[in-house]
Chain A
Amino acid sequence: MMKDRALDPRTKLIIVMSISSLSVFIREPKYLIAILVIALFVSKMMKSEIFMILKKLRRILSLFMAMVLIQSLFIKGGNPIIALGEITLLTDVGILRALEFLIRISIILLSASILMTSSSRELLQGLIEWRIPYEIAFMVSVGIRFLPLLREEIEDTLTAVQLRGIDMEKLTLKEKIHLYSNIFTPVVTGAILKSQSLSIAMESRGFRAYNHRTSYLKLRMKARDYLISSFSILVSILIACLYILR
């Protein structure tokens, strides 16, 4: 059951869509920082568990950092900051791009934290009431539920690898990359095979037997929801205009 004070999941979807589409399309650090602040503010208002997400992602975080680093090293435009003789290592544009990337990732994480204040069932219902075909809406929600499964699969695989007498701590970076690239395919195929059996199981229980499905959970947009939705759309159009006309 929805709590009375909570926003409709559709409102959250609109907010998140506004924030994330702005962050994808804007390439100016100043604006991105402004969006980041807004996203942080909204996420705080919704009492999202952003620290929980960060904690869960802490292993991938180092990967992000590596990506940021690599990105800043490979962009060669602009004025060199660090150079080794003839070879420029780091330029101001490189740093700027890396910064943009970092901010974007943070915005997307914050958006996810906003969405996660609704259960996946509520979000699914939100999509359905937007007349998005049930199959597609269902796919989205299964997709979200699938991520932890994928993580489990990866963890199991890593356990199995280590049990063959491999000390992860002792591997060099090169060996680690070799290892990860090798287990990537089996992990993904494993996940795909699982989803295949899921779909067969669903068909055999009569999924899609009727065109229309009734639902116990009903969502209602309240005045506040309409207000917040229109406000966030208006603000994002405004920001977009400011950015284009700058």
Chain B
Amino acid sequence: MAYIEARKMSFTYPKGKRPVINDISIKVFQKDITAITGHNGGGKTTLGKLLGGILKPLNGSVLICGRNSKDLSLGQIGKKIGYLFQNPSRQIFTSKVEEEILFISRLKKQPMTRAQREMEEILRFFDLYCKKDEYTFNLSYGEKQRLALGAILVNRPEFLILDEPTTGLDKLRKDTLSEYLIELNSKGVGMIIISHDMDFINTHASRRIEVEGGRIIYDER
């Protein structure tokens, strides 16, 4: 069964005039790593947000695990899907680096020793442990990107949507990310990767979709 399915979906931004997404129907599977490419302004980010249930389509529908995205709250979606925004600053919401990872456990009153251990693990993996006491807004772009990704993974999502995850990363960090994504995928985590980075796509993607002017113009496995 498709993990995410879009049926004749269209979308226009509230203040926009023309539709950004035009009558797209697509099935996305959990076993794939699906890459979305296309020119600037082609509607990749919008498509990603629609498929991830963050935006709701004006016409047509999006089914996530068989449920209409209109009936799912952001909280319910967040428990299944991890979404990395194109601009990582947008999703970092605590002052301190370690707090970003611990915040949710603290809010849910989960046992802190475990959360603490998990936090150390994640920060070590993303090479941010030495920054754990620093302010998030002073991090560099690539560091923010890694922190945002790390924070998403705390939830152990079953599906990831990553909007240009490699733009800010250097060669070394990109390779680490690659390894990690491959490992996650082998554990059954599905992925949509929005990217211009052809190298990255060619090494990972099992399916490639190209978006132009709000339509899918290419879709091949």
Contact = CB atoms under 8 A, between A and B. Distances in A.
Interface of A: 156-157, 159-171, 175, 178-179, 182-183, 185-187, 189-190, 193
B93 A166 contact: no
Which of A156, A171, A175, A178 has the most C-beta atoms of chain B within 10 angstroms of its own C-beta? A156
Given A183-B93, A183-B94, A163 B74 contact: yes
Contacts of B103: 164, 182
Contacts, number: 69
B75 A189 contact: no
A166 B107 contact: yes
Contact of B93 (A157, A165, A169, A175): A157
Interface of B: 54, 73-79, 83, 85, 89-95, 99, 103-104, 107-108, 136-137, 151-152, 154-155
Given A160-B90, A161-B93, A167 B77 contact: no
Contacts of B79: 165
B95 A189 contact: yes
Closest 10 CB pairs of A and B: A167-B75, A162-B74, A160-B91, A163-B78, A165-B78, A165-B79, A157-B93, A183-B93, A156-B90, A164-B104
Contacts of B77: 163
A149 to B, nearest CB: 13
A49 B154 CA distance: 45
B78 A164 contact: yes
Contacts of A156: 90-91
A183 B103 CA distance: 10
A161 B90 CA distance: 11
Given A167-B76, A186-B92, A159 B54 contact: yes
Which of A165, A166, A167 has the most C-beta atoms of chain B within 10 angstroms of its own C-beta? A165
Contacts of B83: 163
B46 to A, nearest CB: 15
Nearest to A179: B107
Contacts of A164: 78, 103-104, 151-152, 154-155
A171 B77 CA distance: 16
A164 B136 CA distance: 18
A190 B89 contact: yes
8 contacts: A156-B91, A163-B74, A164-B103, A164-B154, A165-B104, A178-B107, A186-B93, A190-B137
Contacts of A170: 75
Contacts of A190: 89, 137
B75 A166 contact: yes
A191 to B, nearest CB: 11
Contacts of B136: 186
Nearest to B109: A175
Contacts of B54: 159, 163
A189 B138 CA distance: 11
Given A182-B94, A183-B93, A183-B94, 9 more contacts: A160-B93, A164-B151, A164-B154, A169-B73, A182-B103, A186-B94, A186-B137, A190-B137, A193-B137
Contact of B75 (A162, A175, A179, A186): A162
B155 A165 contact: yes
Contact of A165 (B75, B89, B90, B94): B75
Contacts of A162: 73-75, 78
A168 B94 CA distance: 17
A47 B108 CA distance: 48
A189 B93 contact: no
A190 to B, nearest CB: 7
